[in-house]
Every structure is written in structure tokens, then in C-alpha cells.
Amino acid sequence: MNLSADMEARAAEAPDRIGLTFEDGSEYTYGQINRKSCQIANYLVSQGVGPGDRVGVYMQNAPAFLFIIFGIWKTGAVLVPINIMYQAQELIHAVSSTHVDTVITDANGIERLLTIKENLNTIMVAGGLPGTLPAHVIDFDARVSDQKAAFDSFVPGEQDVAAIMFTGGTTGAPKAVITNHMGWYKALCDLAGGHTGNQARHPIADDRIPPNLVAMPLFHGGGQQSMLFAYHIGRSVLLMERFKAGKYLALAKKYNVRSLVLMPTMIHDIVNYDGDADLRHVRTVTSIGQELRPLLRSQFEEKFNIPILMNYGSTEVGHVAGWGVKDLKKGLWKPGSVGKLYPGVTLQIRGKDGAPLPAGEIGEIFVKSTVTTKGYAGNAEESKSLLQNGWICTGDMGCLDEDGVLFIKGRKREMIKCGGFQVWPLEIEKVLMKHPKINDVAVVGVPDDRMGEIPKAFIILQQGTQADSKEIIDYCRDNLAHFKAVRAVQFVDAFPRADTGKILKEKLKDNDNG
């Protein structure tokens, strides 16, 4: 099943119904969404793009981003969405590791993309730019506008790739997760089954039913899944350019949104928002992306009297466990847990010897599902360590209770989950070691009320030099995406080390002075 199929079905059955509303109030019917996507598909094919080819998208959330996603999938090409916060070196890694030579961008990304133009064959800009377009940059809108508004979508096989999504990597660079049409569509069906009891494409909702509010970026798996899930269950999409608590709350109230899907950072901002925060119209809130700190959870639930449900999964394996509204109504929900396993998921809790553990015992979580990735593009070593005889090694620690409900206890690896994004210390350390005043550096994750976790740098300066935290943080922000930049710095004279010379990062955390 092509991932554009649900949207196409809505366009066929109700072409004049609103399928997309942007935060500025602009509206698009299902028919318009499909026609614009068909025009994009026809243009891409005219430029030689076909099944299996990879097309990068480096954009902020906008209606055009959604149209482009579906247009790429219609052709059978592979969507490679790139984090709009990536800087030059991260962009180079993204396009080289995925063999992308064509990227579609917007006014938010064109300046940064032009700094790596030597690494690309084609740069297209959607949405226009003030003044004259830079040399060799294609006006995407102008080329698309005169294309035919009909297209026979590619019919994918079981292993045909839909997208390559970037996530963290143990080597310090983002990993490029390979996902396929059939697996991701099965994930939508499983998610629908877990929440509503019906896996199949739902009938289109009554036009009085509120839209699903999507505030997560469409370059993120959570953003794409939220958008696709809305179309699968017959809802329309209310899309934000980026999350801002005040605007989010205003839109949710204006459109009477009943169910919210939020990252913990968003929950933090809503709890601490000092303006109008009326959520009486909301029935449920689902937290995704990273662990939700217990204090933040209780603050939200006490302030708004709305239970927060959890959803556990990853780009590599899809949705693993969660709670649905029907579970809440039946009294099955267990606070503090992430939920029951979704249909199609097999999970084991394994001990240090690799053997499955009984209920109640904590071990490493291994998952197998219909969504399991084929691996990482351009990274055979990481793919081998991730996949073990068809099982995904998550690196997370947890346990199952006697009812098969999953509880997460922590992470085995060093990865920092900051605001829903995966951040790897080694990548930050490599950047900081280029600073002329730094002799050595170690980066760890430390708790943060808003972000869940933030990267903190412990630094040994070169002899005879001086620096302050601001200088180090600014240097990071100049060379890394904002979410990867260290948020705290502590200067030390030496690191605690093992006999082998390895820095004992857990002891550094013990010495954290805040």
C-alpha cells in the first residue's frame, strides 16, 4: 500500500471537504491536496525521478511540505526529510550518507543549503524568495504549476522504501533509518486498532468532527505519523509551522481539538504558559518522543485534569506500546506505564545473558514487528548492531508486568533525548575539540524540567586560557543544530577515568554542580 493511499481515498470520496488547514487559516480540500501532489509527481517524473530515487526535503512545516511528501511517494521515489535546524556539516552528512543529489527547500533553508551546493546537483525552492533567485536554483512552484493534476501512483512491493528518516547514531553522526511503505502503513493500521479497535481505513469523519492538530515537524517521524494517522481514521489535519504554546492553545480551542499529541517539551511549555490555557475541550493527551518526567506529568494532570497517555516506539521499529481512549474508558490504564503492546508487535525483556526475563524483572528491550527497519543507509556496522536475528535491540531498559503492560526504566546507551530529538555526545565533543581553548571535553545528559534532558559539557581548558559558558555555548550553536548545542558548561581540572583511560561519565554526572 502506497502511503499516499489514504489521502487519495479521501480525495475520491469527498473531494470538496477540507483536508488541511494551516495555522494562518488557509484551507485545502482533499481534492486540492491530491491534485497538487499529482502535479508535483508529474514534474518530478519529467526530471527523471522514479521509483527508488532519493529526493531530499529541507523545509519548515507548510502546506507545500505536505504536498511534496505525497508527490514524492506517488512516484515511488524515496522521501529524505532533513531537519531544518541542520547546519552545513550536518547537511553534508545527510545528503552524502543517503546519496541525495536533489533537495527541495524553502526560504528558511535556502541560505544554508547554498553553502553546500557543491555537494548537490539540483536545488529547488518552494514558496518563492524575495528578489531574484540565486543562480542554478530552480523555482519549484513555477515548474509545478503547469503540470497535469492526475497521476497513477506507484504500487509498492513489500520491501519498497518510502522514506529515510534521520535519528541519532552511536558514532556521533545522525543515522539514516530506512522505512518502507508496507511497514509504515501496517503501523498506521496497528495504531488505529490499538486506539479504536478498527485497523482498517475508517469512514471519513463527519465534518463536525474536529481536525487533528499537528505541531511536530514533518521532517520528524512523529509529525509524519500524526498527519498520516489523521487521514487513515478519516480526520482532517490542522498544521502548525512550528510549536509555540500560546498559538497552539489558541488553535486547539478555536477548532475544538479533542485529542492532543505532544512531546514532553511541549507539555512543559503548556504547563508554564501564563496566558489563556483553556483545555476543557480536550479529552486525552498522548506524550511521545521521549520519557515524560513524573513531576511534569503530575503538574499537567493537576492543572488541567486530563490524563496523559503514553506511546512508546521508534523510527526503527514503529509504534510498540501505548494506551488508547478505549483503554481509558475500560479502566485498563496504568499510570506510569507506556501501555500495552500494539497488534503486530512481539517484545522480549532480556537479561545480560540474552535470555528472556519473567514478568516484573528489568532488562533490555528487544522488539520485532512488521515495521522493523532494514537498517541504516550507508552504515552497515550500525545496522548489524541494531538487528539481531530479526530483533531490534532498542537500548532501552524496562519490564513487563503480569498483564503484559510495558514500563520503561531508562536507557542503556549514552544517547541524550533532548526535546524529542536524539543527541549523541560524541558528535558534540568532536565539534568542541576544534575550539582553540579546549584541551579535553566530555558531554553527558543531565535532567531538565522542560527538555527532559539537555547536553552538558565538562571541559578542561588549555593551560593559560580562559573561557566562560556563553563562549562555549555560542560556539556550539554556530556549528551544530540548536537542539544539539550544549545548554550547560562546567569547567574542571581533570576527568575521573578508568584504568584504561576511559572517562567515567557517570561519575561526571555525580559531580554535576548544576
Other beta carbons within 10 angstroms of residue 452's beta carbon come to 24
| pLDDT value at residue 206 | 86
| Three-state DSSP state, 461 | strand
pLDDT at 500: 44
pLDDT of residue 512: 74
| DSSP string over 306-355 | -PEEEEEEETTTEEEEE--HHHHHHT---TTS-EEEPTTEEEEEE-TTSP
pLDDT in tens, 478-491: 999 999 999 999 99
Residue with cell 473531494: 15
Q: How many CB atoms lie within 10 A of CB 79?
A: 24
User: By the 8 A CB rule, do 139 and 107 touch?
Assistant: no
Q: How far apart are CA 15 and CA 478, in angstroms?
A: 46
Q: pLDDT at position 34, please? A: 99
pLDDT-derived band at 168, boundaries 50, 70, 90: low
- Is the confidence at residue 294, as pLDDT, over 80? no
User: Dihedral through CA 287, CA 288, CA 293, CA 295, nearest 10?
Assistant: -10
**Do the Cβ atoms of 508 and 458 come closer than 8 Å?**
yes
Domain 417-510 CATH class label: alpha beta
The whole-number average pLDDT for the span 200-214 is 92
For residue 65, what pLDDT band results from cuts at 50, 70 and 90? very high
Q: Is 239 helix (H, G, I), strand (E, B) or coil?
A: strand
C-alpha closest to that of 40 among 148, 124, 122, 120: 148
CA proximity to 368, closest of 338, 348, 398: 348
| H helix and E strand count, the chain | 16, 26
For all residues of the chain together, what is the average pLDDT? 91
Looking at residue 172, what is its pLDDT?
Answer: 57
pLDDT in tens, 368-419: 988 889 899 988 888 888 888 889 999 888 999 999 999 987 777 777 889 8
What number of other Cβ atoms are within 10 A of residue 272's Cβ?
14
The type of residue at 405 is: V
Phi, psi of 225 (to 5 degrees): -65, -40
Cell numbers at residue 267, please? 507539555
Inform me whether the pLDDT recorded for 305 exceeds 70: yes
Give residue 499's pLDDT: 47
The H or E element that residue 448 is part of is strand 438-448
Residue whose grid cell is 569547567: 491
Q: pLDDT band for position 509 (50/70/90)?
A: confident
The Cα-based distances of 467 to 428, 432, 454, 464, 480 in angstroms read: 18, 13, 21, 10, 19
Q: What's the rounded mean pLDDT across residues 426-450?
A: 91
Q: What pLDDT was estimated at residue 170?
A: 44
> Which of 319, 71, 302, 307 shows the shortest CA–CA distance to 194?
319
Lowest-pLDDT range of 245-259, 288-302, 440-454: 288-302
Instruction: Please give the average per-residue pLDDT across 105-132, as a whole number.
Output: 93
Decide the pairing of beta strands 18-22 and 237-239: parallel
User: Which residues touch 20 (CB under 8 Å, ≥6 apart)?
Assistant: 27, 28, 33, 63, 66, 236, 237, 239
Res. 129: pLDDT tops 90: no
Distance in angstroms (rounded) separating the CA atoms of residues 12 and 7: 9
Query: Could you read off the pLDDT of 67-104 as tens digits, one per residue?
Result: 999 999 999 999 999 999 999 999 999 999 999 999 99
SS3 letters across 304-317: HCCCEEEEEEECCC
> Side chain identity at 210, as an amino acid letter?
P
Give me the pLDDT at residue 331, please.
81
Helix (H, G, I), strand (E, B) or coil at 126: coil
Of 466, 468, 458, 469, nearest to 505 by C-alpha is: 458
Tell me what pLDDT residue 268 has: 87
Mean pLDDT over 140-165 rounds to: 96
Report d(CA 4, CA 6) in Å as an integer: 6
- CB of 310 within 8 A of CB of 292? yes
Contact (CB, 8 A) for 424 and 387? no
Per-residue CA distances from 230 to 19, 130, 458 (Å) = 10, 34, 44
Q: Is 11 left (phi over 0), alpha (psi -120 to 50) or beta?
A: alpha
Which residues, 6 or more positions from 350, have their beta carbon under 8 angstroms from its beta carbon? 356, 357, 363, 364, 366
Task: Report the pLDDT averaged over residues 309-334.
Answer: 85
Q: For residue 514, what pLDDT is reported?
A: 64
Q: Which residues pair with 392 in a beta bridge?
A: 367, 387
The pLDDT tens digits of the residues spanning 212-222 come to 999 999 999 98
The answer to whether the CB of 481 falls within 8 A of the CB of 87 is yes
Return the minimum-mean-pLDDT range out of 134-138, 233-237, 323-327, 449-453: 323-327
Q: What is the pLDDT of residue 501?
A: 54
* Whether the predicted pLDDT of 507 surpasses 70: yes
Do residues 289 and 313 touch, judged by C-beta distance below 8 A?
A: no
How many CB atoms lie under 10 A from the CB of residue 131? 6
Q: What is the pLDDT of residue 498?
A: 59
Distance between CA 43 and CA 285 in Å, rounded? 40
Enter the pTM of the model: 0.84
Helix (H, G, I), strand (E, B) or coil at 254: helix
Tell me the percentage of the chain whose pLDDT exceeds 90: 68
